[in-house]
Chains A and B, each alone.
Chain A
Amino acid sequence: MSQINDFAFKIGTVNGTGSSSANSLIMQAIFRMGIPVSGKNVFPSNIQGLPTWYEIRVSGAGHTARTPIFDLIVAMNRATIEKDIAEVRSGGWILYDNSWPLEDELLRADVGFLGVPFGRLGVENFKAVRERVLMKNISYAGAIAALLDMDTEVIQQMIREKFSRKPALIDSNYLAIKLGYDYAQEHFDCPLPIRLETLDKTGDQILIDGNTAAALGCVYAGATVGAWYPITPSTSLMDAFTAFCGRYRTDPETGDKRYAIVQAEDELAAAGVVIGAGWAGARAFTPTSGPGISLMSEFIGLAYYAEIPSVFFNVQRTGPSTGMPTRTQQGDIMLSAYASHGDTKHIVLFPADPRECFEMAVKAFDLAERYQTPVFVVSDLDIGMNDWMCRRFEWDDDYRPDRGKVLTAEELESIDRYFRYVDVDGDGIAARTLPGVHPKGAYFARGSGHNRLGGYTEDSDEYLEVVNRLRAKVDGAADRVAAPVVETREGATMGLITLGGCDAAAREAVELLAARGIVLDYLRVRGFPFHSAVATFLAEHEQCFVLEQNRDGQLRSLLILEAAADPETVHSIRYYGGFPMSAAHVIDGVMTQRFKQGLEPVGPEGSLVEEGA
Chain B
Amino acid sequence: MSPTVKPKVLHPDIETNAVGLTRRDYEGAMSTLCAGCGHDSVTAALVQSFFELNIEPHRAMKLSGIGCSGKTPTYLMQDAHGFNGVHGRMPALATGANAARSDLVCIGVSGDGDSLSIGLGQFCHAIRRNVNMLYVLENNGVYGLTKGQFSASADVGSKSKRGDVNTQEPIDPILLALSLGATFVGRSFSGDKAHLLPLIKAAVSHNGFAFLDVISPCVTFNNHEGSTKSYLYTRERYMDVAPVDFVPMKDEITADVEEGALTIVPMHDGSLVRFKQVGPDWDPTDAAAAWTRYRELSRDGAVVTGLLYLSESGDDYHGRNGTVDTPLVEVPFEELCPGSEALSNLMDRYR
Measured CB to CB, the residues of A under 8 A from B are 31-32, 206-208, 216, 219-225, 227, 248-249, 251, 255-262, 264-266, 268-282, 284, 298-299, 302, 306, 392-397, 399-401, 433-448, 455-459
Contacts and interface: CB of A to CB of B under 8 A. Distances in A.
A269 B89 contact: yes
Interface of B: 1-3, 56-61, 63, 73-74, 78-86, 89, 91-101, 103-104, 121-122, 124-125, 129, 317-318, 321-325, 327-329, 331, 333, 335-340, 342-344, 346-347, 350-351
Contact of B89 (A227, A299, A433, A448): A299
Contact of B96 (A273, A392, A397, A459): A273
B69 to A, nearest CB: 14
A298 B86 contact: yes
Contacts of B99: 225, 260, 262, 273, 276-277, 282, 284
A222 B329 CA distance: 10
B84 A446 contact: yes
Contacts of B79: 439-440, 442
B100 A224 contact: yes
A207 B336 contact: no
Contacts of B63: 276
* Residue of B56, B323, B350 with most chain A CB atoms under a 10 A cut-off: B350
Nearest to A270: B92
Contact of A206 (B337, B338, B350): B350
B351 A207 contact: yes
A422 B203 CA distance: 37
A160 B251 CA distance: 66
Nearest to B79: A439
A447 B122 CA distance: 18
Contacts of A221: 337
A85 B346 CA distance: 41
Nearest to B333: A222
Contacts of B1: 458
A281 B100 contact: yes
A280 B61 contact: yes
Nearest to A206: B350
19 contacts: A32-B351, A206-B351, A220-B338, A224-B336, A260-B323, A260-B328, A268-B89, A269-B92, A272-B92, A276-B93, A276-B100, A280-B100, A281-B100, A284-B100, A302-B85, A435-B80, A439-B58, A442-B57, A447-B85
Contacts of A257: 321-324
B324 A251 contact: yes
B3 to A, nearest CB: 6
B323 A280 contact: no
B333 A400 contact: yes
B104 A276 contact: no
A208 B121 CA distance: 37
A446 B83 contact: yes
Given A216-B343, A272-B93, A458-B2, 12 more contacts: A31-B351, A206-B350, A221-B337, A225-B328, A227-B96, A257-B322, A262-B99, A269-B121, A282-B328, A399-B337, A436-B58, A436-B101
Nearest to A247: B338
A401 B333 contact: yes
Contacts of B347: 206, 392-393
Nearest to B87: A298
Contacts of A249: 336
Contacts of A274: 96
A441 B86 contact: no
B340 A397 contact: yes
Contacts of A225: 96, 99-100, 328
Nearest to A281: B329
A401 B329 CA distance: 13
Contacts of B329: 224, 280-282, 434
Contact of A284 (B78, B86, B96, B346): B96
Contacts of A32: 351
